[in-house]
Amino acid sequence: MIVQSQVLNADVTAVKLMQRKADPKKIFFGILSLFAGLIIWAVYINGERKDTEKINTFIQVAKKTISFDTSAGYKESINQFQSILKIDSSHEVAKSSLAYSQAILLYEHNDQDLLKSVQTLVSQVSPSDSTFAFIVPAKGLSLLSEGK
Quick one: pLDDT at residue 83? 94
**The model's pTM:** 0.64
One-letter amino acid for residue 122 of the chain: V
Mean pLDDT of the 84-100 span = 90
Q: Which helix (H) or strand (E) holds 129?
A: none
Quick one: pLDDT at residue 16? 63
Q: What totals of helices (H) and strands (E) does the chain contain, helices first?
A: 6, 0
Average pLDDT over the chain reads 79
